[in-house]
Amino acid sequence: MFWVPASAFRQFTNTLCWGNFADLDLHLLESLEATDRVALLEELRRYHEYLRRQRERVDRFHHAYRDWLDQRERELPPEYQERLHCWRLRYGSAAYFCITGLASRGGFQRFLADPEGHMAAYEQQFAELAKEQAYSWQTETNSGWFSDRHPGNEHDDVLAEIEQALRLLGVSANATLAEIRRAYRTRAKMLHPDWQGEERTGQMSSLNAAYHVLCKLYRREAPNGGSN
């Protein structure tokens, strides 16, 4: 048993899981006996290699799946592509694929068998989703931490900006600052250009802007001073 500073240990484990093995701060192991240190280093090396292989497998799967989805989208009838693309941008990929089923081969084939019928059904379901979101937003803004703090039509642009930021981070108006931060970190991992490619730069910029809006507003107006 040996003790190390918590911050140093977090950095060590982060490097072990996500960085290069050569960048590990091995000074943390100096208190170990030489034999134990060599054995532990070998175990850590194997574990690091295992994690690297797993990440590569996951990355290959995600890239292959994204390529498959892109190919399927290009094969959609041109007259429907723009409307489908707008729905995906507006409601997000999760809701889009849940409603359309176009993330699977079967769903894609069913759509091609009757595109007009499916588009009509999608239209209705997305309209219902929009109503649900509008109701949810109204309920949350009436009870959230910034409720009644921007009364009047002159602040409609502010509320619209907040609504967009909440949607981008996937949090409610009642979210704590800690929940906002967690949501941001989760989505940043999914969108960061260093991991997902340069095509994600615009989405990452929008996410950063949304996070800035909510953190700034929360700190200024939360009843508890934004300490959550």
**CATH, residue 195:** 1.10.287.110
pLDDT of residue 33: 86
pLDDT of residue 218: 66
Residue 50 and residue 29 share a domain: yes
Residue 159 and residue 207 share a domain: yes
Q: Which of 21, 42, 75 is the last residue of a domain?
A: 75
Is residue 227 assigned to a domain? no
How far apart, in whole angstroms, are the C-alpha atoms of residue 63 and residue 21? 25
Residue 117 and residue 57 share a domain: no
Q: Which of 164, 172, 153 is nearest to 212 (CA)?
A: 164
Residue 160 and residue 138 share a domain: no
Burial of residue 184 (CB within 10 Å: 0-12, 13-18, 19+) is buried
- Tell me which residue range forms the domain holding 13: 1-75
pLDDT < 70: residue spans in the chain: 1-2, 4, 133-158, 192-200, 218-228
pLDDT of residue 46: 95
Domain count, the chain: 3
- Type and span of the H or E element at 35: helix 34-75
pLDDT of residue 92: 79
pLDDT in tens, 11-58: 888 888 888 999 988 888 888 888 988 999 999 999 999 999 998 998
Residue 62 and residue 97 share a domain: no
Q: Which of 75, 109, 124 is the last residue of a domain?
A: 75
pLDDT of residue 213: 81
Residue 82 and residue 69 share a domain: no
Is residue 226 assigned to a domain? no
pTM of the model: 0.48
pLDDT of residue 145: 47
Burial of residue 133 (CB within 10 Å: 0-12, 13-18, 19+) is middle
